[in-house]
Amino acid sequence: MPSLDYKRILLVHPLGAGAGMAASDIARKANLMPPLGLACIAAYLEREGFKADLLDFNADPDAARLLPEYLREHRPSLVGFSCTTASFLDGIRLAANIKTLQPETRTVFGGPHVSALGPALLEKFTDMEASVIGEGEAVMAELMKTEGDADAWASVKGLAYRQDGQVRFNGFRTEQLPLDDLPFPAYEKLPGYPDRYTLPIFSYPRTPNASCISSRGCPYECSYCDRSVFGRTFRFNSPGYVYEHMSYLRRRFGIRHLNFYDDQFTLHRGRVEELMKKLIDRPLGMTFNCAARAEKLDPALLALMKQAGAWMISLGIETGDPELLSQHRKQSDLSMLRDKIREIKRAGLRVKGLVMLGLPGETETSIRKSMDYVLSLPLNDLNIAKFTPFPGTPLYAGIHERGRFDENWEKMDCMHFLFVPEGIRLDRLQALFQEFYKRHFTRTRILLGYVAMLWQSPDSWLRFLKNLKAFLSFAFSNRRWGTPPDKSKSLQQN
């Protein structure tokens, strides 16, 4: 049998729950995002002299067939998985298959779920041989350089692994890679890119479109967000780097609209101003969306962003009950948020509101307050996520004291009410969720807004009509009323 190729690694993006129903998954029809983290790692490893391939089970219908073929042909020394909570067990299943087909290949896991729960996962899941705690580029490069020598793994910071039946953790990395020193993600390693990947329906004007990350981390300490990978720091690419990244996407793939997947795109005002001026002085023929904190926006900045090509801004509302919001987020000011939404609209930009239902402390009264508040706002679009207490969030440790929690990892995707706060029943919570969506999407102004999408986002309408039967079935099911979920920003786990 040929020996392993110690210069080659396969990076895998697992599908998650319902792997056998992927073709009919409505969320994937409405929004399919590329695994940008793995694409970043692949590009870094290639620059370091290794061969990195990428298999996306979430997007590639041939992935299950391709995996054993790839193992036989290329015999990679490592297979790396990047997992959210919902996709982790599917990653374990795939790792078990790999160990059956090619036992000598090592399996390494990373991503938010792994960083949140740390070395303890290795004690339970034997097909997982190592885990990356934190950012992955430098750790994976050092692992590849060991050429399979398990004894050398002891020197790799940020790595937990199993040796002689014992789980060992080498400690956290103290140095972080400068983001401007990193190569652009290896988009070309994603089969079918960019056409196979789609932004949320009705959230873009033109195609081809794509997602991009220009910063890492978030300094805020919201109770519902997992920051296990990047911590509470905020690092960002320089305006020049971001401009060149956008230019590369335009030249290489013809991208015409970009969604910045940053948690807080406008956090550093000077960076945004300089980038916008570059886009105005040297237009790329691209529009873009981003997410922002309301207090980091003002009319002058919004006008500059509009001139540079901004199309839509997403704002985290979370809840319209001020008392509940203050329990979970600092600097909570719903009056200020209302004013900022009006400023965004006056600047000629679309605005999407992001709401969560079912936070600890939620009651029917708080949900009614949220409905009244949100429906009074001039939003263009709305996404309501079902609160999920992910590992790594401040709420996770004491969540069982705040209500009933069914910790079913495969369903922890913000599309199921696995946590039910004290004082409210699950069936009532679900009914209020559906009522919230129905009240929003049956309003004349909202319906006319979607009619306007015929010329503002014609591709969205084509996608909607192509999948009309599936969308309508989803809309009137017991799971949700309204448009399918925007996974790009509804998840609290990144």
Q: Are residues 58 and 110 in the same domain?
A: yes
Q: What pLDDT sits at residue 490?
A: 43
Let me know if residue 265 belongs to a domain.
yes
Q: What pLDDT sits at residue 368?
A: 97
- Alpha carbon distance 395, 226 (integer Å): 10
Angle between helices 269-281 and 299-308 (to 10 degrees): 40
Let me know if residue 181 belongs to a domain.
no
Q: Are residues 30 and 119 in the same domain?
A: yes
**AA identity, residue 343:** E
List the CATH number of the domain containing 141: 3.40.50.280
Q: Are residues 152 and 262 in the same domain?
A: no
- Alpha carbon distance 418, 421 (integer Å): 10
Let me know if residue 184 belongs to a domain.
no
Q: What pLDDT sits at residue 479?
A: 45
- For residues 38 and 59, the answer to whether their CB atoms sit within 8 Å is no
Could you list the beta-strand ranges (E) of 184-309. Answer: 209-212, 215-217, 234-236, 257-260, 287-292
Q: Are residues 68 and 158 in the same domain?
A: yes
Let me know if residue 174 belongs to a domain.
no
Q: What pLDDT sits at residue 489?
A: 46
Let me know if residue 178 belongs to a domain.
no
Instruction: Indicate the residue among 129, 154, 169 that finishes a domain.
Output: 169
Q: Are residues 351 and 410 in the same domain?
A: yes
- Alpha carbon distance 371, 160 (integer Å): 45
Q: Are residues 82 and 16 in the same domain?
A: yes
Let me know if residue 175 belongs to a domain.
no
Q: Do strands 287-292 and 310-318 pair parallel, antiparallel, or not at all (unpaired)? A: parallel
Q: Are residues 258 and 162 in the same domain?
A: no
Q: Are residues 254 and 146 in the same domain?
A: no
Let me know if residue 482 belongs to a domain.
yes
| Residue ranges of the chain with per-residue pLDDT less than 50 | 478-485, 487-491
Best CA proximity match to 190, nearest among 345, 360, 38? 38
Q: What pLDDT sits at residue 473?
A: 66
- Domain range spanning residue 239? 198-490
Q: Are residues 267 and 157 in the same domain?
A: no
Q: What pLDDT sits at residue 29?
A: 64
Number of domains, the chain: 2
Q: Are residues 230 and 110 in the same domain?
A: no
Q: Are residues 427 and 358 in the same domain?
A: yes
State the pTM of this model: 0.93
- Per-residue CA distances from 336 to 317, 363, 376, 478 (Å): 11, 24, 14, 35
Q: Whats the size of the chain, residue-wise? A: 494
Angle at 368 between CA 362 and CA 369, to 5 degrees: 85
List the CATH number of the domain containing 356: 3.80.30.20
Q: Are residues 107 and 202 in the same domain?
A: no
Q: In a 3-state reduction of DSSP, which class is residue 82?
A: strand
Let me know if residue 192 belongs to a domain.
no
